[in-house]
């Protein structure tokens, strides 16, 4: 059980600036692969390259908006220009979106999530495969980072689930296309994993996700990365067309919680601390209260992932003094 066979393989990792993508890039670099780190954040991407190089690895950064197929093509071209070949692509870049029923999404939401989670993965597979074939790679591979949502539908996650089911479908179909040409195509399906999206969550929030998982804990990004290393290795040449969960048995059977952003469509009741954060943020008076107690909350991209929750649930997780939380909820209840 060794990974010498991956040494000097050239691999592209999209979304490599943080989370699972960063872990994947670093594990590949630690095992002698030449890593092309692609992401929108130049500062974070170059930090990953520096981390790989500090351990004796070989890596470069290519600034890429992975929601644009033209930029994915340019990424592949720059990789071949720099290293002279390509052996594998890890299509990891993606965004989460969920927590509301389908009718509350906008067309713009559809376009945003599909451009990155679906079209971006397709472009990585298309242009990556062309370059791998031209490189005459022995042991070529495509790894798509999907989600447990690509294995089991989740309520309130219609658009995200659709993209991840699509990724799994493309993975399996492409595996049949390229099996006889020596290119393996597999999907990794993470469950709750400790990435930057949970960076500002308090202990109560982290406990919720851990307790929701049968394993009783959240995953570490490197646990997905080690699977990626195995799939890129000579030991996995007969594994292709697989969608492999890394989720502590979450996808073995799970019921997701769906929160309506606008439950008043059914009840006709007004806003309060038990209304969804999304509804509060859309109300001028509610927004004023949020700005008073949580300055900067509306600009925080990570906080937007919690818009399907209520402030009554979220506020105690933010580490605020109890009297501040009480005052905030009280003012919200008077809307």
Residue 153 lies in a domain: yes
Q: Which of 105, 110, 127, 160 is catalytic?
A: 160
Could you tell me if 51 and 101 lie in one domain? yes
101-153 pLDDT, tens per residue?
Answer: 999 999 999 999 999 999 999 999 999 999 999 999 999 999 999 999 999 98
Domain around 182: 7-252
Could you tell me if 222 and 324 lie in one domain? no
> Which pLDDT band holds residue 189 (cuts at 50, 70, 90)?
very high
Could you tell me if 88 and 235 lie in one domain? yes
The residues that bridge with 142 in the sheet, in sequence order, are 89, 185
**Among this protein's residues, is 226 annotated catalytic?**
no
CATH number at residue 210: 3.40.50.720
Could you tell me if 247 and 268 lie in one domain? no
| DSSP classification of residue 119 | I
Could you tell me if 153 and 283 lie in one domain? no
pLDDT > 90: what percent of the chain?
A: 70
Please enumerate in sequence order all residues whose Cβ is within 8 A of that of 282, keeping only pairs 6 or more positions apart, or say none: none
- Whole-number pLDDT of residue 32: 97
What is the secondary structure of 303-328 as a DSSP string?
GGGGTTSBHHHHGGGGT--HHHHHHH
Residue 1 lies in a domain: no
Q: Distances in Å between the alpha carbon of 148 and those of 95, 151, 187, 189, 192? A: 14, 5, 10, 5, 9
- Choosing from 220, 252, 284, the residue where a domain stops is 252
Measured distance CA(169)–CA(180) in Å, rounded = 19
Could you tell me if 273 and 299 lie in one domain? yes
Residue 2 lies in a domain: no
Instruction: Read off the tokens for 299.
Output: 């600009």
Instruction: Determine if the pTM surpasses 0.85.
Output: no
Residue 257 lies in a domain: no
Could you tell me if 281 and 248 lie in one domain? no
Beta sheet of 34-39, edge-to-edge order: 58-63, 34-39, 10-14, 88-91, 141-145, 184-190, 243-246
How many domains is the chain partitioned into structurally? Answer: 2
> Which pLDDT band holds residue 80 (cuts at 50, 70, 90)?
very high
The residues that bridge with 144 in the sheet, in sequence order, are 91, 187
Beta strands in the chain (DSSP E): 10-14, 34-39, 58-63, 88-91, 141-145, 184-190, 243-246
Q: Any idea which of 41-45, 82-86, 198-202 has the lowest mean pLDDT?
A: 198-202
């Amino acid at each position: 059980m060794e990974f010498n066979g991956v040494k000097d393989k050239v691999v592209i990792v999209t979304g490599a600036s943080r989370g699972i993508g960063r872990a994947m890039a670093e594990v590949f670099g630690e095992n002698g692969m030449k890593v092309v780190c692609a992401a929108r954040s130049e500062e974070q991407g170059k930090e990953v390259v520096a981390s790989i190089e500090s351990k004796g690895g070989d890596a470069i950064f290519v600034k890429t908006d992975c929601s644009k197929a033209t930029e994915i093509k340019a990424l592949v071209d720059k990789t071949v220009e720099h290293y002279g070949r390509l052996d594998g692509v890890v299509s990891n870049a993606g965004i989460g979106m969920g927590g509301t029923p389908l009718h509350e999404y906008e067309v713009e939401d559809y376009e945003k999530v599909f451009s990155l989670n679906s079209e971006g993965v397709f472009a990585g597979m298309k242009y990556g495969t062309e370059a791998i074939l031209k490189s005459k790679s022995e042991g070529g591979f495509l790894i798509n980072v999907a989600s447990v949502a690509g294995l089991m539908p989740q309520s309130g996650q219609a658009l995200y689930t659709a993209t991840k089911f699509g990724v799994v479908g493309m993975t399996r179909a492409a595996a049949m296309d390229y099996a006889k040409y020596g290119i393996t195509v597999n999907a990794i399906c993470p469950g709750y994993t400790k990435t930057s999206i949970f960076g500002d969550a308090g202990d109560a929030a982290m406990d919720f996700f851990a307790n929701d998982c049968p394993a009783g804990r959240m995953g570490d990004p490197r646990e997905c990365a080690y699977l990626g290393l195995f799939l890129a290795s000579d030991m996995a040449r007969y594994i292709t067309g697989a969608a492999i969960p890394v989720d502590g048995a979450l996808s073995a059977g799970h019921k997701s919680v769906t929160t309506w952003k606008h439950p008043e469509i059914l009840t006709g009741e007004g806003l309060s601390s038990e209304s969804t954060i999304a509804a509060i943020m859309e109300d001028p008076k509610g927004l004023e209260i949020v700005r008073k107690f949580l300055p900067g909350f509306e600009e925080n991209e990570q906080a937007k992932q919690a818009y399907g929750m209520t402030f009554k649930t979220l506020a105690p997780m933010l580490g605020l003094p109890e009297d501040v939380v009480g005052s905030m909820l009280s003012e919200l209840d008077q809307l």
